Structure 1
């Protein structure tokens, strides 16, 4: 991989700090996970419409990140934008490892102004890929509540990696350092920042403090794995029942041919009321026409098909130890729980068209429901979303 000399010259300039300033801020660490930065940069260069100069800029503070942000106006969203484009590029090539690296990059800790200070969340841009939208960056572990938050971030990262068919244990690759001392005059903490260590100095120097144990990862992805199993069982059950998804040979072997008594003599002919006289075909044709009209008419009533797009609030099914939001229909909307309803509502609304064959009116209704729930908390937020859906 060829890396722009100019880009790294810029990076060196923006991260350089006199000793006096180091006492006021956290030591830079944007190269600590250099293995992930390099992998993400490779993906980014495949298609880079926003002219982002280098993936590493996304891990800098906003002022420094702006130097390499290209067309991304909000530097606090540069990390997300970089991960989102890298994920799209990997997805286009069916590159599971690439998508995994993009997800991990999205979860890395960004530089901040001092030890314990949280980095700013991206609020002005919504990620194109719901998998990226579900992830936020790690925070300095010395900050109040940051270690618990980082565990939640890692758990969500594991779920998203598992959902794309990746190795969920790699969620710990985004883990950050042991928390430093807030009153550390050197601000060195437990960080490292080796630009020439392609393994990532946090790994090579054994400085990474993994967020999750193996059991915690297994618990985090249990719901994802169960949803996959349910989908497989549904497919197998349908085929075993000899429905239309099964081939003709399977149907015949199952005794569904005329010899099994399913011909006219068995009462399945017109006399049995299964023809036009019974109104079945006419009703089916009428319904099909209505569905077709609704699917092509933005002004039609919202139709979500067989899906349940509602959101539940309470004790989630993925093992989280506090009340949270999650899709009611986890088999269709395979996503772990979240404390912010926007994570779940945005995911559902991005999926209803493909997962449910919903019409345009349903997609618009879902977006309106997400807006109605925005800013609300707990059951009130879930009720607002569900009520606005009208289902």
Structure 2
């Protein structure tokens, strides 16, 4: 195949025609992505890169290629493992300087696109350099969909991208367009996988051929970004639904692709809200565990409601949050008939249901003032949920933490580290520090304590670090759903505080220490 410039039609659709000279190339045999799969975001990134390109990067497409092919267009970039990040970083910097949200969003999505690897099932090499922009640093490239744990990893990447998009004032659903193809055959000697490389007159062949596999649902994106506040004000923009019909694409789940995802603890989809009216039976409890943030062990007893509502939040936009009824048994908390092991997961579900109802009312015109007020209310609700989960500290959560005396010494039965929230899977210490001099900064900032398990640069906003830790717990650490839910609640609560108090609140909720 040859490198080809993205179409003028695509550029015109997105606001400005441009043309960048591209060199001819030999044919490269490689796994996706192909040059033309996500054309629209390469177009935007090249447009931003044209504003200032001190390192002389020839074209954004080179960042998607393996090092041998990338060298031909890397300019003065010497670490080819980081060419893609360098490209995204410069494009984002240029977009931010221009106050152009569209260019910034394009650079973020480009950063999340999958990079070429030599064969099907091989994950790409991670760039170990620090990006200039924390937004770019927070977003990692998608991995080959046939590589180990790719569905879970890629979903975490997409949801983190969605948060960064919302923070700059862009459409979070653009993150769904960063996804890749269905997993290829590990025995495919060509290395191509399930790919496309056909020039598309508008967007990219992964969209026009319907081969994009979404990493998450729109409901999951909405829930992930509910507590994210916009921190940048600019002009312009681009909407995912104006580009494609998202409903025509399949959604991957944690076990593979092509099927709807198992809903996470803090996501209330429309179908879940309808199903919530039917109480969970004993025979359904095992399946419900994976859908409600509860342990999927042999526990089969259902909640026996005592009538005590522990949902203390009083906001009423879209209606009050559903009651969180405490009771007895292994799953003692209930929301609209769905049962939960921990109060934190139950409170999160209650807040999410209220947020969805509020957003529906705002979008339909029943509630004036826009969806933004629903996001604000949800931030307040999740912060109250974090406080409520910590103060309740229920015995069921303690039972879910560990099952033997090793828990008393801070170690879960499976040998993994454990704090107040439970096992952190394969990771050890998800705490956050607040300190001076991080990454050469002149002001104090937040950063993960454990840089091995949670490799992220410092940030002035604790939520950038906290959300990254929560996503990593969910993806690579494989922590329990209750732990992830507690982490998300802790992140929302900490974001309402400042400085050391914010770090202390996050760490206390997870039962860890920064020392």
TM-score, normalised to structure 2, is 0.45
Match status 1:176 vs 2:323 = no
Which of 60, 63, 66 is 1:58 aligned to? 63
- 1:77 corresponds to which residue? 82
The alpha-carbon distance between structure 1 residues 187 and 197, as it changes in their structure 2 partners (threshold 3 A), is farther
* Distance in 2 (alpha carbons) for counterparts of 1:221 and 1:140: 25
Secondary structure of the 2:76 match is coil
2:108 touches 2:165 (CA, 8 Å); kept in 1? Answer: yes
1:30 touches 1:111 (CA, 8 Å); kept in 2? Answer: no
- 1:131 corresponds to which residue? 135
* Between structures 1 and 2, the one with greater strand share: 2
> 1:309 offset after TM fit, Å?
4.2
Alignment of 1:1-391 (within 5 A): 1-5=17-21, 7-9=22-24, 12-13=25-26, 16-17=27-28, 22=29, 25-26=30-31, 29-123=34-128, 125-195=129-199, 197-225=201-229, 229=376, 309=446, 332-335=461-464, 336-338=467-469, 383=513, 386-387=514-515
* Distance in 2 (alpha carbons) for counterparts of 1:28 and 1:89: 25
Secondary structure of the 2:187 match is coil
Which one has more relative contact order, counting CA pairs under 8 Å at least 6 apart?
Answer: 1
Secondary structure of the 1:158 match is helix
The alpha-carbon distance between structure 1 residues 196 and 134, as it changes in their structure 2 partners (threshold 3 A), is same
The alpha-carbon distance between structure 1 residues 63 and 198, as it changes in their structure 2 partners (threshold 3 A), is farther
Secondary structure of the 1:223 match is coil
* Distance in 2 (alpha carbons) for counterparts of 1:67 and 1:145: 32
* Distance in 2 (alpha carbons) for counterparts of 1:47 and 1:303: 28
Which blocks of at least 5 consecutive residues in structure 2 are unaligned?
A: 1-16, 232-374, 381-441, 474-496, 504-509
- 1:244 corresponds to which residue? none
> 1:139 offset after TM fit, Å?
0.6
* Distance in 2 (alpha carbons) for counterparts of 1:311 and 1:26: 33
Secondary structure of the 1:176 match is coil
TM-score, normalised to structure 1, is 0.58
The alpha-carbon distance between structure 1 residues 224 and 36, as it changes in their structure 2 partners (threshold 3 A), is same
* Distance in 2 (alpha carbons) for counterparts of 1:55 and 1:310: 30
The alpha-carbon distance between structure 1 residues 8 and 196, as it changes in their structure 2 partners (threshold 3 A), is farther
2:118 touches 2:191 (CA, 8 Å); kept in 1? Answer: no
1:107 touches 1:157 (CA, 8 Å); kept in 2? Answer: yes
Tell which structure's C-alpha radius of gyration is larger: 1
1:51 touches 1:70 (CA, 8 Å); kept in 2? Answer: yes
Deviation digits for residues 58-88 of structure 1, max 9, x if unmatched?
0001111111111111111010000000001
> 1:173 offset after TM fit, Å?
1.1
* Distance in 2 (alpha carbons) for counterparts of 1:165 and 1:60: 30
* Distance in 1 (alpha carbons) for counterparts of 2:96 and 2:33: 31
Greater Cα offset, 194-203 or 37-46: 194-203
> 1:57 offset after TM fit, Å?
0.5
The alpha-carbon distance between structure 1 residues 26 and 325, as it changes in their structure 2 partners (threshold 3 A), is closer
> 1:26 offset after TM fit, Å?
2.7
The alpha-carbon distance between structure 1 residues 312 and 220, as it changes in their structure 2 partners (threshold 3 A), is farther
Cα root mean square deviation, aligned:
3.7
* Distance in 2 (alpha carbons) for counterparts of 1:310 and 1:60: 31
1:157 touches 1:171 (CA, 8 Å); kept in 2? Answer: yes
2:32 touches 2:194 (CA, 8 Å); kept in 1? Answer: no
The alpha-carbon distance between structure 1 residues 311 and 52, as it changes in their structure 2 partners (threshold 3 A), is closer
* Between structures 1 and 2, the one with greater helix share: 1
1:40 touches 1:86 (CA, 8 Å); kept in 2? Answer: yes
* Distance in 2 (alpha carbons) for counterparts of 1:186 and 1:226: 44
Deviation digits for residues 168-211 of structure 1, max 9, x if unmatched?
01101100001111113444432001245441000111110011
